[in-house]
Chain A
Amino acid sequence: MPAIQLQFVDWLIIGSYFLILLMIGLYYRRFAGRSMEDWPLHWPG
């Protein structure tokens, strides 16, 4: 029965995923505490 063997490149991709998530989180953290009220809707109707 085959078993999953993760190699270095697999861990590299998995680690990159968490790094990208961290970068996205840090970017949006700059806007924490804001709400939709801070940006009036542009949409007419």
Chain B
Amino acid sequence: MIGTSVGYGGDTAPLGGAMEGQMVLSSRNVREASKMYIVAVITLFVMLLLVTLPALGAIVQWPWLRNPEVDREKAYGLLMAQYLPPGMLGLLFVVMLAAVMSTIGSNLIFGSQVLVSDVYRRYPNPGRTDRHYLWVGRGAAAAILALAIVVAFRVDLIFHVAAFMVAASAAELPANWAQWWWWRFNQWGRISASFGGIIISALVWLVLPTQVWPWWERTYLVIGANTALWVVVTLLTPADSPAVLERFYRKGRPLGAWGPVRRRCDMQTTAPGRAPGSGLPLILGGLGLAVLGAVAAALLISGLSSAYVGRYESAAVQLGGFLASGAVFLGIYGKYLDRLEEWAGASEETLESSASPTPASAVSEVATERGPAHAVREPVRTSVVVALATAAYGPLLMLVGLLSEGRTMAYNLIAGAAFLVAAAIVWITGRTPDQADARLIEDVSPALAGSQADMVSPAKMPRCSEV
């Protein structure tokens, strides 16, 4: 929850962050990207209730599941067999298949992509054809899948895998934060943190006895050892070049220990409104805000769980705490974002664009220079594909309902209607961003047009000393 609340530093975190970097990059703007964390925390932990609450019910229904000797992973299957009528049973199988396949698929793709693009293509074997890298990527995906299958057959309880993954993922957290808050962090620190976390986790899990070292203590040990490793590696290797650091600082305006880079840039910049210093109060305030949000989310989950098992007084207190802490969080959150934007001042890129505005027509001119690419037909909106795929289950489930009777008929008819409604919602809400795009493009300001022209045809970013 700490990682999900504070953020994984834009990492493609395999756990709670769930491909955080992708969600940040696909957000409309910086403020929307920061709101993604709130949506992620609430949806992740509320969705988890779909697993945890029935599991609590299963323990009540079959008390022998409390016995650590039995296979407690059977609980969900027992619930399915006991309560789901025909049709709903197949639907839940499909849901479980979809959840597992989408998770495995995305992890295979990003895992093989990282190995090929960030390691293989960059260091041992650059300059080969795309076809070569494609096949290496496929091989890497097959190797990762093979390792996963070996792990799946060798573990007794899936929780052990989750605990190991928490340790391996958390080992990188300080490095992910350091890449934003410490100018000295470099690519060798990144590599040592990424691979060191996995290696140290594996060593700790293999060497330390589980009876003496519970999983959370081993996790803290892995975090500490891995942090020491990447800090030493970073300090023993050269810093990134001043040009790279200055370009990153000018674009990102990071908080934290950026003293030398900040001094070089701020001495020469013309941007007004910049606050001096590291912004430490903003970092501490942001961490406090993240803790407050995490407490609110925890109270929501705990309160709903208490209500589910009939502890209504406890549930009322916890849900009251959720409402109070949630209200305080929402009251502070917008103001905190305002302060962050004030601290960063006006973007130097925007100032440059305003000083020499690019006509909106230049965007299309730059785009048309791209040649026949414009002739490529775009796929339909993703929301249309999702809506059609969702709608397909509506008539199917309703047909199953009509062929059944009693409770089975009712459940399948309701589920079929729900799928049709969900498809309609996806279709309708999927149209909205396109209309917003059209309005924005009509009203596009010269400054925005300039920045898009930069995106379409990237210009060389001037160094601070050249501004």
Question: In the bound complex, how far is the Cα of B379 from the Cα of A38, in angstroms?
Answer: 12
Known contacts: A20-B389, A34-B376. The answer to whether A9 contacts B403 by CB under 8 A is yes
Q: How many residues of B contact A (CB 8 A)?
A: 43
Report whether B98 and A17 are in contact in the complex, using a CB–CB cutoff of 8 Å.
yes
Report whether B81 and A6 are in contact in the complex, using a CB–CB cutoff of 8 Å.
no
Report whether B77 and A12 are in contact in the complex, using a CB–CB cutoff of 8 Å.
no
B78 within 8 A of A: yes
B97 within 8 A of A: yes
A2 nearest CB neighbor, chain B only: B81
Tell me which residues across on chain A come within 8 A of B376, comparing CB atoms.
34, 38-39
List residues 1-45 of chain A with CB under 8 A from any CB of chain B.
1-7, 9-14, 16-17, 20, 24, 27-28, 30-31, 34, 37-45
Known contacts: A9-B403, A28-B379. The answer to whether A16 contacts B396 by CB under 8 A is yes
Question: In the bound complex, how far is the Cα of B373 from the Cα of A1, in angstroms?
Answer: 61
Q: Given B90, B393, B441, which contacts A10 in the complex, CB threshold below 8 Å?
A: B90
A-B contact count (CB 8 A): 92
Q: Given A5, A7, A24, A30, which contacts B81 in the complex, CB threshold below 8 Å?
A: A5
- A39–chain B nearest beta-carbon distance, Å: 6
Report whether B444 and A44 are in contact in the complex, using a CB–CB cutoff of 8 Å.
yes
Known contacts: A4-B89, A6-B90, A10-B90. The answer to whether A39 contacts B448 by CB under 8 A is no
Q: Interface-forming stretch among B290-298, B319-327, B451-459?
A: B451-459
Question: In the bound complex, how far is the Cα of B78 from the Cα of A3, in angstroms?
Answer: 7
Known contacts: A1-B78, A9-B86. The answer to whether A42 contacts B441 by CB under 8 A is yes
Report whether B437 and A43 are in contact in the complex, using a CB–CB cutoff of 8 Å.
yes
A5 nearest CB neighbor, chain B only: B81
Question: In the bound complex, how far is the Cα of B123 from the Cα of A18, in angstroms?
Answer: 39
What 1/0 flags go to B388-408 for Cβ under 8 Å of A?
010011001100100110000
A20 nearest CB neighbor, chain B only: B389
Report whether A13 and B81 are in contact in the complex, using a CB–CB cutoff of 8 Å.
no
B317 within 8 A of A: no
List residues 359-380 of chain B with CB under 8 A from any CB of chain A.
363, 367, 370, 373-374, 376, 378-379
Question: In the bound complex, how far is the Cα of B93 from the Cα of A13, in angstroms?
Answer: 9
Report whether A9 and B94 are in contact in the complex, using a CB–CB cutoff of 8 Å.
no
Report whether B389 and A6 are in contact in the complex, using a CB–CB cutoff of 8 Å.
no
Question: In the bound complex, how far is the Cα of B130 from the Cα of A37, in angstroms?
Answer: 15
Tell me which residues across on chain B come within 8 A of A14, comparing CB atoms.
90, 93-94, 97
Report whether A3 and B437 are in contact in the complex, using a CB–CB cutoff of 8 Å.
no
B16 within 8 A of A: no
Tell me which residues across on chain A come within 8 A of B29, comparing CB atoms.
45
B428 within 8 A of A: no
Report whether A44 and B441 are in contact in the complex, using a CB–CB cutoff of 8 Å.
yes
Question: In the bound complex, how far is the Cα of B312 from the Cα of A31, in angstroms?
Answer: 54
Question: In the bound complex, how far is the Cα of B62 from the Cα of A31, in angstroms?
Answer: 51
Residue among A9, A31, A40, A42 with the most chain B CB within 10 A? Answer: A9
Tell me which residues across on chain A come within 8 A of B363, comparing CB atoms.
44
- A28–chain B nearest beta-carbon distance, Å: 7
Residues of B participating in the A interface, judged by any CB pair closer than 8 Å: 29, 62, 77-78, 80-82, 86-87, 89-91, 93-94, 97-98, 363, 367, 370, 373-374, 376, 378-379, 385, 389, 392-393, 396-397, 400, 403-404, 437, 440-441, 444, 448-449, 451-452, 455-456
Residues of A participating in the B interface, judged by any CB pair closer than 8 Å: 1-7, 9-14, 16-17, 20, 24, 27-28, 30-31, 34, 37-45
Given A10-B93, A12-B90, A13-B91, 4 further pairs, Cβ under 8 A: A13-B400, A42-B437, A44-B448, A45-B452
